Amino acid sequence: MEPYDHRAIEAKWQDYWEERETFATPTDRTRPKYYVLDMFPYPSGAGLHVGHPKGYVATDVVARARRMMGFNVLRVMGWDSFGLPAERQADKEGAHPRDITERNIKTFKLQLRRLGLSYDWKRELATSSPEYYKWTQWIFLELFKAGLAFQAEIPVNWCPALGTVLANEEVKDGRYVETGDLVEQRRMKQWMLKITAYAERLVDGLDSVDWPEGIKEMQRHWIGRSEGAVVRFAVADRADSFEIFTTRPDTLFGCTYCVLAPEHPLVGALTTPDQAEAVAAYRAEVGRRSDRDRMSQAVDAPKTGCFTGAYAINPVNGQRVPIWIADYVLASYGSGAVFACPAHDERDHAFARAFGLPIVRVVEGGPDVAEAAYTGDGPHVASAFLDGLDITGAKRAIITWLTDRGAGHGTIQYRLRDWLFSRQRYWGEPFPLVFRDDGTPVPVPVGDLPVALPEIAERKATEDGRPPLARAVAWMQATDPTTGLPAVRETNTMPQWAGSCWYYLRFISPDRSDVPWDREEERYWMPVDLYVGGAEHATLHLLYARFWHQVLYDLGHVSTPEPFQRLYNQGMIHATSYRDAAGRYWYPEEVEVRDGVTVSRATGVEVFPKMEKMSKSKYNVVNPDDMCERYGADAMRLYELFMGPLEDGALWETSGVAGTRRFLDRLWRLAHDEKVSASAVASRDLDRALHQAIRRVTDAVESLKFNTAISDMMVYVNEATKAAAVPAAHVDALVRIVAPFAPHLAEELWAASGHHESVTYAPWPEWDEAKLAVDLVTVAVQVSGKLRGQIDVAVDAAEADVLAAAKALPDVARWIEGKQLVREVYVPGRIVNLVVR
RNA sequence: GGGGGUGUGGCGGAAUCGGUAGACGCGCCGGACUCAAAAUCCGGUGGUUUCGCGACCUUGGGGGUUCGAGUCCCCCCGCCCCUACCA
């Protein structure tokens, strides 16, 4: 018998698949389809570590098994290749981001190829290619024409040192997280997408998809639908008024003051002269803190604020209440103003306590409202016509009252904000728009797309702070397609989220240059049946993509209301990192354990092991290429899924790969053993082990519980190894269920047993329910709930016989002797419990 | 503060309906092979106690329901992820 040489076998079959185009997407449309999709990666310079392929391996098993089950499978991979890191790397190396991106893609692709993933590489796409972003621009124009893209002057995070705008998540404590450069708020004209118009639909659509409840909940919270009322308060002694939003209009009679956001447009006008100085000082202080910093403060942070000197008239009772400004009221939510009812709102309560404002109870219940806000239900008091009603009744009554008098109305408010869609960077999609002299944006005709990214010498913002594309002076000069007059191009680019919003559609017909996707093919393949990726995309990518999809659906471009029918999040892989007291990280091979203490091998200084996310900077990454080299891609694939449930995080242990490798070695030996023959007859136990494994693996294709399915295959191989004879048909079925997990080895064994076609399209084995059945079962015998023995009985044995046999066991008789039997329980095939007193 | 998740041997994890807790793998221990080691193969492996048969304990902690609880109910504790004054 030849030894199992994983290097030769894996290289051989990877070449075979590539030459024969084994994984080309089938073209006949008579069979059922299965579209299984990985969240495509950003091709970073660091390459893959073993954490990345966990999801890819899982989807590969599903894809390969589904092919064998007779499905047409769409299994594809691409690159989310626009984005800032490539741009920064390019500046560092004096190269072009395109070249950096191409280089990184090449590395990623080689690493993925070594894992034997069954992608149809002819459908590969990259969001940064003009053939692709032509259609990203086209979708933007569809949004623009539908009135869902608009421009607004809004504050952005401007980093003067880098000459660029930064995303919110890149700024912390007023500094750029990577370099520590100061970031300031600057107002700039930005493109926005009206995602808020789809807020309701985005919430409702969640009910129709098969996603983890946690992710749905995160999206619901992000969208933040809340029902309430808008109420107009007049400013006393002035012609002005302002609107407030509240979810508790029933507590309006408990209003003792109002609060405007410091940025509220009315603040300047209504502040009285004697308060002007204090208000200006407070607003300046708040302005120094970014919105994000304000938000990141804990709820229990001390409340700050300032009285404006002005008063508002409470429309329900005509009372004059002071108007304050405070940063606990956010300008960007609702109308940027609230009425305060400190008796029944915790935030208002804290504020009232801090500034000595009155607290008036209007709902009965709870302890003294001078001590704490009461937010529970109860009969209303001191509320005129609301007295005696509960919250629901009072809300209904007050909204009717307000509506009748034109003082307010019921409404629904969303936390979701419109999507800031422009970036002042180079490496992104240019906007397909030109501006007339008067600033009117005009779409570039579809026939002229794509608007290609121009070449510029320096990819920095201009001296006067315009985006890098403003340096492409000639490129900027365009003509207005409607009038023929000169016009200038938009110099912002789209955010990285744009390309990933629709890539799953482009995979359907990536080669078509006349349409973004073929309509008939789209109807066949959509929706994505299984979408696997990290939970970190719960709110941004997955919400943006759903929004675009719903717009495309409304415009009649796609056939399904939701893009991703089933979503699954794979857990993150962690590894042990070692850090000394000074905070320096050490490589695992630099440390050792001496007398129970982990120390640096070289210096003897103590280091502290910790389980952390795999990261280059933490010196704890494990490279998949090393695993493929030492143990083989098949062993590595198995280990990735055997570690534990797919959705859980897990600690990487390279010794575990050695374990799955030993399993493959045993399988290899078994398949080559001469005890395997066409005439061999399997024992019932061996038969059952095989059919159990078939069943579990088949179920796992749906449930994604691969860890237990792999364990059942191990059980079979262990038993078959011990068996005297093994039928060839067993090995034949075994190889087929192993094939999705360890495809290279399976191909080799499949060929060795006389098959001339790839195992890829071999029929999936079926389990036989009869073979799973047992005729003799072991029944546990308990006395008063304690295990005292066990008996083997026929599955269909009569209860009386089983109980008699149980009582006859010496170890059981011992415990019931001299006692009174008060109850006898027999659960067929499982347990006997003899209760004594 | 809010939302979601989770807690089982030395470690990763099994346990379909409330029915023998610890499958499978890692690690460890013993044996075979070897001049020796590595690799490989075979066997053992929750804890305490016992020469042994066995007994007792054991699913984060405490209560409860039940003939029977890792699983159901109540209270408490720990850890992880997300979120952050959204009126």
Among A460, A581, A558, which Cα is nearest to A504's? Answer: A558
Q: What is the pLDDT of residues A357-391, one digit of tens each?
A: 999 999 998 888 888 888 888 999 999 999 999 99
CATH 1.10.730.10 applies to domain A631-771: yes
- Following DSSP, what letter does each residue of A70-86 receive, concatenated? T-EEEEE-EE---SHHH
Split at pLDDT 50, 70, 90, the class of A171 is low
Split at pLDDT 50, 70, 90, the class of A348 is very high
Say what the pLDDT of residue A446 is. 94
Q: What value does the mean pLDDT take over residues A236-256? A: 94
Cβ atoms of A528 and A504 within 8 Å: the answer is yes
Burial of A706 (0-12, 13-18, 19+ CB in 10 A): buried
Measure CA to C1' and name the residue nearest B25: A659
Percent of chain A with pLDDT over 70: 96
Split at pLDDT 50, 70, 90, the class of A13 is very high
Percent of chain A with pLDDT over 90: 63
Question: What residues does each domain of chain A span?
Answer: 30-140+497-569, 155-190, 226-413, 430-492, 574-613, 631-771, 774-836
CATH class of A774-836: alpha beta
pLDDT surpassing 60 at residue A147 = yes
Amino acid A786 CA to nucleotide B68 C1' distance, rounded Å: 9
Q: What is the pLDDT of residues A781-801, one digit of tens each?
A: 888 888 888 888 887 888 888
pLDDT surpassing 80 at residue A77 = yes
Per CATH, the homologous superfamily of domain A226-413 is: Valyl/Leucyl/Isoleucyl-tRNA synthetase, editing domain (3.90.740.10)
Nucleotide nearest to A330 (CA to C1'): B86
Say what the pLDDT of residue A709 is. 94
Q: Which amino acid is at A116?
A: G
- Pseudo-torsion of CA A581, A584, A588, A594, nearest 10°? -30
Amino acid A522 CA to nucleotide B28 C1' distance, rounded Å: 56
Q: What is the pLDDT of residues A633-669, one digit of tens each?
A: 999 999 999 999 998 888 888 889 999 999 999 999 9
Rounded CA Rg of chain A: 34
Buried/exposed code over A643-670 (b: 16+ C-beta within 10 A; e: otherwise): beebeeebebebebbeebbebbbbbbeb
Measure CA to C1' and name the residue nearest B15: A708
Amino acid A655 CA to nucleotide B6 C1' distance, rounded Å: 26
Q: What value does the mean pLDDT take over residues A148-172? A: 76
Can you tell me the ipTM of this complex? 0.93
Comparing A239-243, A535-539, A605-609, the range with the smallest average pLDDT is: A605-609
Q: What value does the mean pLDDT take over residues A672-682? A: 90
Amino acid A666 CA to nucleotide B32 C1' distance, rounded Å: 18
Q: What is the pLDDT of residues A463-494, one digit of tens each?
A: 887 899 999 999 999 999 999 999 999 999 99
Amino acid A485 CA to nucleotide B74 C1' distance, rounded Å: 77
Measure CA to C1' and name the residue nearest B42: A722
Split at pLDDT 50, 70, 90, the class of A597 is low
Amino acid A657 CA to nucleotide B60 C1' distance, rounded Å: 31
pLDDT surpassing 50 at residue A398 = yes
Nucleotide nearest to A226 (CA to C1'): B86
φ, ψ of residue A144 in degrees (nearest 5): -60, -45
Query: What three-state secondary structure class fits A257?
Result: strand
pLDDT surpassing 90 at residue A198 = yes
Comparing A296-300, A318-322, A445-449, A806-810, the range with the smallest average pLDDT is: A296-300
Architecture of domain A30-140+497-569: 3-Layer(aba) Sandwich (3.40)
Amino acid A785 CA to nucleotide B52 C1' distance, rounded Å: 26
Say what the pLDDT of residue A296 is. 46
pLDDT surpassing 80 at residue A185 = no
Q: What value does the mean pLDDT take over residues A20-49? A: 93
Amino acid A329 CA to nucleotide B83 C1' distance, rounded Å: 18
Nucleotide nearest to A214 (CA to C1'): B4
Residue A517 CA to residue A363 CA, distance in Å, equals 59
Query: Look-up: residue for tokens 């893209």?
Result: A149
Helix-helix angle A706-722:A684-703, to 10 degrees: 160
Say what the pLDDT of residue A372 is. 86
Nucleotide nearest to A779 (CA to C1'): B20
pLDDT surpassing 50 at residue A292 = no
Average pLDDT, chain A: 90
Say what the pLDDT of residue A666 is. 94
Say what the pLDDT of residue A534 is. 86
Amino acid A715 CA to nucleotide B27 C1' distance, rounded Å: 20
Return the structure tokens found at A342: 């400190």
pLDDT surpassing 70 at residue A290 = no
Nucleotide nearest to A823 (CA to C1'): B67
Say what the pLDDT of residue A123 is. 97
List protein-proximal bases of chain B (any atom < 7 A from a CB). 1, 3-5, 11-15, 19-21, 23-27, 40-43, 54-57, 67-69, 80-87
Nucleotide nearest to A649 (CA to C1'): B80
Measure CA to C1' and name the residue nearest B4: A214
Q: What is the pLDDT of residues A310-340, one digit of tens each?
A: 999 999 999 999 999 998 898 888 889 999 9
Measure CA to C1' and name the residue nearest B41: A666
CA A348-A196-A335 angle, to 5 degrees, is: 35
